[in-house]
Structures are given as structure tokens and as C-alpha cells.
Chains A and B, each alone.
Chain A
Amino acid sequence: MSSSDAGPIRDNPVVVTGVGAVTALGQSAAETWSGLLSGEEGIRPIEGFNVEGFGCKLAAQVRGLDPEALGLHSKAARIMDTHSFMLMKCAKEAFAEARLDAAPFVEDEIGFFAGMGMVDYRIDDLVPAVVASKDRDGGLDMEAFYSSGYEAIYSLIILYTLNNVSLCQAAIELKIRGENAVFSPHADSGAYAIAEAVQTLAAGRAEAVLAGGVSEKVSPFGLARAHLQGNLNTVGAGGAALCRPFGADRRGTILGEGCGILALESRASADKRGVPYAAMITGWGSAFGCEEDFNAPTTDAIARAMKTALQSATLSPSDIDLLIAHGDGTSMGDRNEFRAVHEVFANSLDRVVVFSSKGALGHLLAGAPAVDAIMGFSMLTEGIIPAALHCAPVDQSVKFRVITKKPVQASPRRLMVNCRSDRGQCASLILEAAR
């Protein structure tokens, strides 16, 4: 084992041999891609709970996810929820597409890294304990609560609420025993998962790695949290609140559900196994810096993540044909991102085109970078860039071209995916068509 893992990633490129995706636009990468191309709306009125009282009543929820089709035992499913089902489904699909079940790797040569959102308490797991401990006036009898009422708490609540359990369940299902970690909870964590997979492969610590991320379930807790952080669009336009990345009248973001998992492997290994691939990951970067009010990363931090990614890919800004921006429709976040893009791409602003998926898919948090990367692979292979929904009219200060209205034919060879946390963590990935 070398003492240093430094050195260009492209010397031993990491290729994508399988993908799994679930979004509001479909139960697969292909469905999501065709939905994006046809300009489908993933953002719709929230279903599943009463949204009266919430300022934002829209989200891009995944519908029709069938846990039974995943072949899960009901006991295992009890400590799972939408996020776990999505992760399980995508992991299985990426694993199968990469033919890892038939690969000559032993179990501990396959790694698994994921970004996971917050896993909130299900109030239903706690409420029975409260109900069992009520006094005559409807208040809480603390003595009853502490002595026996607590036994009515759902017994596996600890396991349900640990963010790492979903990854462990998928690892059990697929018999993955190698390197692993769970990062949380924002978009940057999904990118770190992919970056760590690339590092792990480069250093030879695994033969193949599953990596990506999954969003939170859209729940009352998650929606309340997003409201309280002040980044949701609660204003609306003609009765509908929309997510408008880089839009002149952007008013905030909209939550989405979704997951993306990539099966990654060194090109040499994929060639040896005869597994097809069309794209590779050649760079990544990350940085930290947040605004005074703790509500967006600084322009400097977003720019540093992009520059570091370019450096690690041994590319210059003018080599990048397409930027899949984080673009979440927040006022300050998008402003800082377009300023960072202006800074980094100063000499090729007329060349780079920009796309954001969030107008259609909502904000997938930890799931966003992997889903964006998977959509990016389709853009590389199919030579077409979908329109970014609801961006027009674009903010007058934006100096680059955002694809709006309709898809454009293009033949991008290299693209960058940006992502960030509102708290200041930023990350960028670089993807290329595999020659």
C-alpha cells in the first residue's frame, strides 16, 4: 500500500458500471431522464399527511414505491422508511447492472459509501408511551411515564433513528463487507460519499464500490425543519410555490425525495470483467465557508470546491462543457453560486452551459449529487441537455447560459456537478465521457 494516494485520478480512472435512481419523475434512471427531457413536473401537492398550517404545501415526492417488491421481511421493513426503501432499491439496481453478483470479488473487496439525510423520530413510535401515561386531567403523569409508560415506546426506536442503519441493511442484502461510511445530511455528504469511493478505488482498498446518497422522507418534521431554516419557497406564484434555480424571482427551494447510487470500479477492472461503461469520474473538490447568518455557503467556498475539483482532474475551466449546478432556488445560495461560477469560469462563460434539476426534482439533499451525476451520464451519452424547469426568466446578473424552455442538442464531453449545504459545506465532482 502506498503511503500517499495523491496523484491524478485520471491516471487510473474510475468508471461507472451501474446506476440506480428513484425520483419523483420515476422509479428508475431511465424514467427520470425521460421525465426531465419531456419537462415533466415532479413537484406536486404533498400527499401522506395534512399540510394545513405549513407555508409550503408542495414537494417532489416519490410515489408508488413498493417495499414488498424489494423482497423485504416485514420485521426488517419495520425499522425502515421511504429513505431506506429508496436506498435499498437503488443499491440493488446499481449492483445488478454492474454485474457485481457475478464478479470475481470477495465480499470485503466491495465498498459502500452513502450520504444520508436526517432520520427523524416517528412520533407514532413515541406517542403510545405518552398516551399510556396520561393522568386524569390529560396531563402527563411523569411517575407513570418513567416506571412503565416508556415500555410503550417502539422497542427498536434506536435502530430506526440511527442514520447508518439503512446502509447496513442494504449491505446485508447485497453481502457487501468492504470499506464503508455514512455521511450526513446535506447535498455535500452525497458528493463526499462518491469522492471517498473514488479515493478508495484509487488506493486499491476495494475492487468495486457502491456510492451515492438518499434524501430524507418528506415528513411533517422534515418540512417543519426546512421551514424553520427559512429556505423554502412559501410565497408562491399564482397559488403554486415553485423552485426556480437562478430565476429572477426565485423565492426559495422545494423539498424532494429521491436516491441515486453508482457502482464504481477502476477502468482496468471493468475492462477485465467486460462490463460496459460510458462515463468516468475524474475529479472532486470540497471546501467550507459560510455566511454570517449561517444560511448559505460563501462564494469563496463554492469557488474553492470547484477549483479543487478541476485541479484534481488536471483540467482547466474551459475544458468543462456543462455545469450541473446545485441551483436550489434560494436567494443567497444561488447568488453565491453564480458569483462563484463567474469567478471560476471567467474566461469561458460563453462556453459553459448550466443545468439544474431542482425545478423538476426538488431538493434531494444528500441524494442530489448522485442523481445529478446519473442524469449527467445520460447527457454525456445522448448528447442532449434537458431544459432546467422554471428557471426563466433567469436573474439578470447571471452571465452564463442556463438551458431553459426546451432541451438542446449538444455533445458535452466533460461536466461538473456542484452541491452544497446551507451550513457552508461545498463539494464539486467532475464527470467525463469514457473514451
Chain B
Amino acid sequence: MVITGYGMVTPLGRNTEETFQRASQGESGIDTIRSFDTQGLPCRIGGEVDDSWLDGFEDSNIRKLEKFSSRGLKLMIVAAREAVRQARLDEVAERENIGVSLGSHGDNPPVEEVMFLHSFYDGDGQWDIESLLQAGGYSYLQFFRRKPDVAAAILSAAFECRGSNLSIVSACSAGAQAIGEAFRLIRAGRAKAMLAGGCEATVDFVGLAGFVLIKALAERYTAPKKASRPFDRKRCGFVLSEGAGALVLEELEHARSRGAAILGELLGYGDSADAYRITDTHPKGEGAILAMKAALEDASLAPPDVDYINAHGTSTQQNDATETLAIKEVFGERAKTIPVSSNKSMLGHTIAAAGAIESILTLVGMSRSVILPTINYEFPDPKCDLDYVPNAARQMGHRVALSNSFGFGGQNACLCLGKFVEQRS
């Protein structure tokens, strides 16, 4: 199974190249939130994508669908276009053999909408629907924007993918799970190629306030760019970001027969449930351990084969400590010699997009022999004692990597990625 195209839009760049270049310089995409007023909220930072990068509906075949599209989907269209162009997917005649697998959640309702609705609600379960309808009703489009299948369907329509069409909603692991499920469909002979990935655009009032209320976000930071500090002792929560990542996964023979450039390999996928608590990860990282082991087993590889780990590394006290424990459990003595880094130190947490964006950065890093750094690593934490590639990218050849994604509620996914080597396949 190979990757023949990828694309992304992130707080660091409008495409893969720009994001990777800036990340390899250790730049942060986190800043004070500009898109809405955050006055009064204890966390006022995030990773936002520049609106001028959202030009994905330029093509006439989907322009009329723009009004149904969530911001997350608009990001995804940009990422998917880059991936599809790179893979030259348009050249494939049999569109029934191409599917879509998307991790996304849809938009949150804006404050104005909650306000508008409130005036038709008696506060006790009863709505005045007649007045609501007379007032212009609840926006048709808002209902559509929250629906994940609409996003997957528009993506399919936009890129003419007529095969299986999956919408995955597994919180922070949705992007990785969407790639994993796509991988399985191709392996089961159900598709020749899949457009897979994730998108998220919840840097809005309800999103930010919601995560503030569960105390998940970084609030004590000296500067926005210093706030996301995975594995650092002074980490205090994650930074909410938006973005999208898309990959074209393809059966090797299919890619070869049409002469597509092969950018990397997806070797295995593993997933697990913590089955512990909704709000906390398992203290020993048992779910994470299961996912990493399952991905390796799926790839017919063993821990000594892994050269790099692209961590979930959210910058919360809990995740980074348990992820470290889990890595030590899986890799034993060797754990301390494997570079482990978190792209979230620079990009923040893009929730359903994270697994896709981070997998792509891992693939690009492998092809260029560059390991992206964990920035803001200043104060070592005795509980986090691995090689986190602190603050500067590292030039190092590597051929097999794991990319972790762990979701709220305890859904864990791990992708095993490989540099494409002709003889192995």
C-alpha cells in the first residue's frame, strides 16, 4: 500500500511544502486568536488558517456546493486538491474504484445562533417553532454544516470518487482512523485508491469555551508561541488549532501501472479502546500500548524496526506522561534511543485533522531524512525522559515510523509508515 499524493493546510502553511519547511525551522503557527473576540476567556490563543488560503471552490463543478460546506470541509478541499493533483488522480478512469474516508465533526454553532434560538425557547424544554419559522427559521445551512456525511459526500462529488464513502467521528483519532479504515478497504480489495484524511475547524467560541470548561487548554503561557510544549515540565494543556490533511492511498500495482510517483508506504494500522474513563487516559497508557503493538503486528514488524515515533504529544500533563510510559512499555530499553517528537508543539492540536497532517509530515520527513523537532522543550520532566528531538530538526535517515493519535473517550489509533523502498515491496 503506497501513498501517491498528499496535501494539507495548517496554521503554518497553505500546503505541505510550506508547512514542512516552517516546521523544520521550528516555527510555531500559534498566535492570538483573530477570527472572533476572545476577551474574557482564559485561553485566547489558537492555530488559525489564513482565510485567503481557502480557494478550494474555484472549480466550477463544486462552486454551487460551497454554501453547504463547513469551514472544516473548505480546509479539506484545499488539502485534497493538493493531494489529488500530486497523485494525478484525475487520470484514473475507473472512478468506482476510488473511495473517500474522512474524519471530521462539522462546525459548532456560533454564539449569534445560540442567541437567536434562545429567543424561541422557554428554558424548560419547549420551543416556539411557529415563531421561529416566521422569524426566518433556523438556518438550513447550519444544519447541513454539522453533518459529517455532507462533508464526505461533497468531497466525493468534488473529486469524482464513486467508491465507498466513509465518515469517521472518533474525536482526536478520527483522522488516523479514517486513514486506517481506507487502508483496510484497499487491502480487502474494495478499492484501488482512497482519498483519506481529516479536517477540523472548531477554533470558535463554543469550541474554545467547551475545551476551557473541561480544563484541557493551555492557559498559563508566557507567549502564544510558547504555549504548546509537549513533554516539557511546564506544559499545561493543549492549544486548539484548525487544519486539514489529505492523502491518496493506493494499491502498489495500481500506482505502478499508471506510473504514479510513490511517496511512501502505509505499512500497518492498529487501534484500540482504553475502556477506562471518558475524560482520562489510562494511567499506564494501556490503550496506547495496544494500538502501537497492533500497528506493528499489522505491518509484520517488531519494535526494533521502528526508527522514529511521531507522538500524539498534546502538551497536556496526562497525555505526554502516559504516552511516554506506553512507548517505554512497547520499546523497552530501546525507547530512550528512538527519536520521539510532537508536531503539535508547532501546529497545536487540530483534533480530527491531526492524525492526517502528522502522518504526512512524518512521510515527508522520512523521504528527506529530516526529523521534525518538539519545540518549546526547556524544562525536562522526570516523567518524560525520552529523546524528544528538542527544539531543532535533526538530519537523520529513517525508514519506519509510527504516528500516534489518541482520542477523547479513549479511542486510540496508530499508523505505521515507511519510506518507500523498491525491494521491500
Question: Contacts of B39 on A, CB cut-off 8 Å?
Answer: 143, 146-147
Q: Does B338 lie at the interface of the complex (its beta carbon under 8 Å from any beta carbon of A)?
A: no
A 323-342 binary contact with B (CB < 8 Å = 1; else 0): 00000000000000000000
A159 touches B408 (CB 8 A): yes
A123 touches B166 (CB 8 A): no
Q: Which of A130, A147, A180 contacts B115 (CB 8 A)?
A: A130
The interface stretch among A28-36, A47-55, A97-105, A234-242 is: A47-55
B140 touches A179 (CB 8 A): no
- Of chain A, the residue at the smallest CB distance from B289 is A108
Q: Does A126 lie at the interface of the complex (its beta carbon under 8 Å from any beta carbon of B)?
A: yes
Which residues of B in the span 108-150 have a Cβ within 8 Å of any Cβ on A? Answer: 109, 111, 114-115, 117-118, 121, 123, 125-133, 137-138, 140, 143, 146-150
Return A383 CB to nearest CB of chain B, in Å. 33
A224 touches B143 (CB 8 A): yes
CA distance A4 to B340 in the complex (A): 30
Which residues of A in the span 143-195 have a Cβ within 8 Å of any Cβ on B? Answer: 143, 145-148, 150-151, 153-159, 161-165, 167-169, 171-172, 174-186, 188-189, 192
Return B198 CB to nearest CB of chain A, in Å. 13
CA distance A158 to B190 in the complex (A): 35
Question: Contacts of B147 on A, CB cut-off 8 Å?
Answer: 118, 185, 423
With contacts A153-B210, A165-B409 taken as known, whether A182 is within 8 angstroms of B272 at the C-beta atoms is no
Q: Does B93 lie at the interface of the complex (its beta carbon under 8 Å from any beta carbon of A)?
A: no
A189 touches B149 (CB 8 A): yes
Q: Does B12 lie at the interface of the complex (its beta carbon under 8 Å from any beta carbon of A)?
A: no
Q: Does B152 lie at the interface of the complex (its beta carbon under 8 Å from any beta carbon of A)?
A: yes
Q: Does B161 lie at the interface of the complex (its beta carbon under 8 Å from any beta carbon of A)?
A: yes
With contacts A118-B146, A205-B298, A424-B153 taken as known, whether A162 is within 8 angstroms of B409 at the C-beta atoms is yes
A163 touches B169 (CB 8 A): yes
A155 touches B213 (CB 8 A): yes
Return B1 CB to nearest CB of chain A, in Å. 9
Q: Does B421 lie at the interface of the complex (its beta carbon under 8 Å from any beta carbon of A)?
A: no
Q: Does B232 lie at the interface of the complex (its beta carbon under 8 Å from any beta carbon of A)?
A: no
Q: Does B300 lie at the interface of the complex (its beta carbon under 8 Å from any beta carbon of A)?
A: yes
A286 touches B164 (CB 8 A): yes
Q: Does B407 lie at the interface of the complex (its beta carbon under 8 Å from any beta carbon of A)?
A: yes
A79 touches B278 (CB 8 A): yes
Instruction: Please report whether the interface of chain A is mostly helix, strand, loop or mixed according to DSSP.
Output: mixed
CA distance A401 to B320 in the complex (A): 60
Question: Contacts of A120 on B, CB cut-off 8 Å?
Answer: 146
CA distance A347 to B148 in the complex (A): 38
Question: Contacts of B146 on A, CB cut-off 8 Å?
Answer: 118, 120
A1 touches B117 (CB 8 A): no
Q: How large is the interface on A (under 10, 10 to 19, 20 to 34, 35 or more residues)?
A: 35 or more
Question: Contacts of B273 on A, CB cut-off 8 Å?
Answer: 112, 168, 171, 176-178, 180
A165 touches B408 (CB 8 A): yes
Question: Contacts of A171 on B, CB cut-off 8 Å?
Answer: 273-275, 410
CA distance A286 to B279 in the complex (A): 35
Question: Contacts of A178 on B, CB cut-off 8 Å?
Answer: 272-273, 290
The interface stretch among A17-25, A245-253, A288-296 is: A288-296
Q: Which of A107, A220, A294 contacts B127 (CB 8 A)?
A: A220
Can you list 22 A-B pairs, Cβ within 8 angstroms, ordered by A? A3-B187, A4-B188, A5-B184, A49-B125, A53-B133, A123-B118, A126-B206, A129-B114, A147-B39, A159-B214, A168-B274, A168-B410, A172-B278, A177-B272, A181-B168, A182-B168, A220-B129, A224-B138, A289-B162, A421-B149, A423-B147, A424-B165
- The 8 closest A-B CB pairs, nearest first, are A53-B129, A147-B40, A168-B409, A6-B189, A53-B130, A158-B210, A423-B153, A146-B40
Instruction: Point out residues on B near A: beta carbons under 8 Å.
Output: 37-41, 65, 68, 96, 99-100, 105, 109, 111, 114-115, 117-118, 121, 123, 125-133, 137-138, 140, 143, 146-150, 152-153, 156-157, 161-171, 174, 177, 180-181, 184, 187-190, 205-206, 209-214, 271-279, 286-287, 290, 294, 297-298, 300, 407-411
Instruction: Point out residues on A near B: beta carbons under 8 Å.
Output: 1, 3-6, 48-54, 76, 79, 107-108, 112, 116, 118, 120-121, 123-124, 126-127, 129-131, 140, 142-143, 145-148, 150-151, 153-159, 161-165, 167-169, 171-172, 174-186, 188-189, 192, 196, 199, 202-203, 205, 220, 224-225, 228-229, 286-290, 294, 301, 304, 308, 421, 423-425
